[in-house]
Structure 1
Amino acid sequence: MPSRQDTPVKSTVVPFDPAEPPDRLKRLGHHDVLERWRGVDRSAHAPRIVAVVGDDEDWTAAALVTARPHTAYLKIVDAVGDVPAAVRAVVAHAHDRELAQVKWEGWTVTSEVAAAAGFAPLSPPLAQPEAASGPAAGHVRWLHDEAVDEPPYYAQTTHFTCGAVTALVAQAHAGRLPRESLDRPAELTLWRDATNFPACEPVGLGVAVRRAWPSSPVTVSLDTDRPVLLGHYPQDEQEWRAVLQETSRAEAGRVGVPIDSRHLPMTAIRSALGRREHVLLLVSLAEMQGFDVPHWVLCHGAVPGAVVIEDPWTNTAAGDTWVDAHLLPVPPPSLDAMSTISPDGFRGAVIIHGPERHTTLPPGQDG
């Protein structure tokens, strides 16, 4: 017999149009909650109402759910009415879609109510930019039995320090950096050592990680020998940045950072995660956020059907918060597309190995 928190309920799923919210939703009250739902343009994250339908076909509960495109989760922004029933309906909807998890923003829900619905608390962010908006608390319910060890969440405080932040979070997650040391001076110091002005390209980032933590073996995976991330600069600015990238390659040889020029497949990333290694992966934000900007994320875990990442950046204008970006499951085909960087279709990554091993891709491995 299913537990009460999983007892099926009759439900429906409808798009949420902030300009014309359904009358059945308005009758549930909570006008302050509805105003929050309508306060930002969530259209890029496919906002939907999951509603519980009573015997008279009226709604007895409703939840607003959103999610970044090409990911494997649903996020409950709020639930109103019979909240436990609304959450059961959302979880059932997520199961039907074979997703990896449901998250719940802590705007109105207490930790006790979330726990009763099977949700675990998320550790709050260590830092966020002043302009970021989001709930003070968040909760997660995984839809499988495998545990995912939670790293700290730290949001980049500039538009260009994503690479440095992913490296710092990886080292904190691995126990090689105290969590209290994750702060803005550490973020900017590592960025300054890794930057190609202002971005961090894979070789420079790998070298900076190796210099900062000499006991952490690092492999850079980059399947092109040309300078990268320079196409949007004028020719004269490309030239001096290219010189810096060549300097980084020379430095990689001096400090013992191998550069693997083979394509890094998703199977190799999952294998590295299975060895409890960390993969700093260069992606484009086109799939998840709608604009083709290169960006670093941290791959740190895997569950059935998804790689779990930390994204240090959120799109506040779309209602995107740290709850979306933290413990974010992405299906391997989606991550494969995100990390194929245009226009050359290259893939860049920095693999941070454990101190006891240092491995590269087996010859001929593909996926």
Structure 2
Amino acid sequence: MPPQKEAPVQSIVAVPFEPDTSTTLLRRLGHHQVPERWHAVDRSAHAPHLVAVPGDDGEDWTAAALVSARPHTAYLKIVDAVGDVPAAVAAVVAHARRRGLAQVKWEGWTASPEDAAAAGFTPLRPPLTPAEHAAGPDAGYVRWLRDGVVTEPPYYGQTTHFTCGAVTALAAQAHAGTLPREALDREAELTLWRDATNFPACEPVGLGVAVRRAWPSSPVTVHLDVDRPVLLDHYPENEQQWRALLQRISRTQAGRIGVPIDPRHLSMTAIRSAIGRREHVLLLVSLAGMQGFDVPHWVLCHGAVPGAVVIEDPWANASAGDTWVDAHLLPVPDPSLDTMATVSADGFRGAVTIGRPLRRGAVPSGPADE
């Protein structure tokens, strides 16, 4: 079945979805039932709005979709579509194009694979996260609106508040084919975190050393543009001291096993160049822009489309209606990612680049000049 035609821009209504006004607005859908999940969580941090298709009278709506998105990103997510579903989805796609976005996703609460395919969407692989730690629908779909080749890594959501670094490294290696997809599980998550942790977080040098130990054939470069311990400012002085010692030990170990530490600021150009070489960049970011709280967090940069880098975020904020569908294959505009990756008050940048596995006998090269 060919994809449905997209609704003309002039036939689209887009209005904020707010608790005090949404009931009145939804009356325009008449007999179409609205899922309870639309009101089950506070989505206000992710700019929820209704994209609707008005009827001939201009008053009632024949279709509508609840959409949201993380701030400072380049996508829209359809939570549900009601009424004339193909028309509602086509309206969202047209709305996203009008805003110059890279992607539309569709949570699979009620969407069928057939409806998604007819609207030009492809299925996302279900997450590997253990069921007791997973949040969100069983299925999800994506439609890209910009050119570019983005291959899909397996998605795994971290099962603790502190294992994001380990999960991004494991996802990178699974995407590269170095780690079997089925080996990405909680035991692997906690095992790699235990080797990389600075208690409880993973700082760049310790993470890079742990990755090299786990996969000796994978070239690893740490990028850290300050020559001091990091991610310690929120601890009292006595707690900082022993963690700083562990970071100095990690630097010694990096030198011993051949993990270079590049002191230059890692630019967006360099990140894109690494992705173009089919390398993976584990990037330390602040969640202030996407989630509203300034917490350091690791994400995986693995793909690129015009104007945006595609990341995997191992954490989703379920209390805001955020699910793995948001966090998986997430396009972030280059300027937004550049801002997110400036961490802490003094603005350092930390990352770990993992290259393609070396053939036996090959000698790893140093970091490229970018």
Structure 2 length normalisation: TM-score? 0.95
Q: Is the 8 A contact 1:61 1:80 kept in 2?
A: yes
1:55-94 to structure 2, matched below 5 A, reads 55-57=56-58, 58-94=60-96
Aligned twin of 2:242: 240
Provide structure 2 residue ranges, at least 5 long, that are not aligned to the other structure. Answer: 359-363
**1:101-250 mapped onto 2 (5 Å cutoff):** 101-128=103-130, 130=132, 132-250=134-252
Q: Deviations over 1:63-99 (max 9, x none)?
A: 0010000000000000001111111110011001110
Bigger shift: residues 106-115 or 121-130: 121-130
> Using the alignment, how far apart are the partners of 2:80 and 2:223 within structure 1?
41
CA contact (8 A) 1:283 1:341 kept: yes
Task: Verify the 8 A CA contact 1:269 1:279 in the aligned structure 2.
Answer: yes
Query: Quick one: structure 1 residues 248 and 112, their matched pair in 2 at CA, closer, same or farther if it must change by over 3 Å?
Result: same
> In structure 2, how many angstroms separate the alpha carbons of the residues matched to 1:59 and 1:128?
40
1:158 partner SS? coil
Question: Which residue of structure 2 lines up, in the alignment, with residue 354 of structure 1?
Answer: 356
Q: Which residue of 2 aligns with 1:331?
A: 333
Q: How does 1:275-290 map onto structure 2 within 5 Å?
A: 275-290=277-292
Structure 1 residue runs of 5 or longer lacking an equivalent are none
Distance 1:128 1:290 in 2: 27
Distance 1:244 1:322, change over 3 A: same
Q: Provide the residue aligned with 1:296 in structure 2.
A: 298
Higher alpha-carbon deviation: 35-44 or 124-133: 124-133
Q: Is the 8 A contact 1:129 1:156 kept in 2?
A: no
* Runs of 4+ with deviation above 6 angstroms: none
Give me the TM-score of the superposition, normalised by structure 1.
0.95
DSSP-derived class of the 1:5 partner: coil
Q: How far 1:4 moved relative to its partner?
A: 3.6
For the structure 1 residues 3 and 139, does the alpha-carbon distance in structure 2 shift closer, same or farther, using more than 3 Å as the test? closer
For 1:348 and 1:216, locate their aligned partners in 2 and report how far apart those are by CA, in whole Å. 19
* Equivalent residue letter for 2:191: T
Are 2:281 and 2:353, in contact at CA under 8 Å, matched by a contact in 1?
Answer: yes
1:98 aligns to what SS in structure 2? coil
Identity %: 75
3-state DSSP of counterpart to 1:245: helix
Q: Secondary structure at the residue paired with 2:352?
A: strand
Q: Distance in 1 between matches of 2:242 and 2:131?
A: 31
CA contact (8 A) 2:3 2:117 kept: no
Question: Aligned-pair distance for 1:30?
Answer: 4.5
Instruction: Note the C-alpha offset of 1:18.
Output: 2.5
The answer on whether the counterparts of 2:289 and 2:340 sit within 8 Å (CA) in structure 1 is: yes
SS of aligned partner of 1:23: helix
Asked if structure 2 preserves the Cα contact closer than 8 Å seen for 1:24 and 1:59, the reply is no
Q: 1:25 is aligned with what amino acid? A: L
Report the Cα distance in structure 2 between the residues aligned to 1:343 and 1:129, rounded to whole angstroms: 37
Contact 1:72 1:330 in 2 (8 A): yes
C-alpha distance after superposition, 1:149-182 (max 9, x if no partner): 0000000000000000000000000000000000
Amino acid at match of 2:40: G
Match of 1:12 in 2: 13
Tell me by how many angstroms 1:7 deviates. Answer: 4.7
d(CA) in 1 for partners of 2:5, 2:243:
56
Partner of 1:341: 343
Contact 1:218 1:358 in 2 (8 A): no
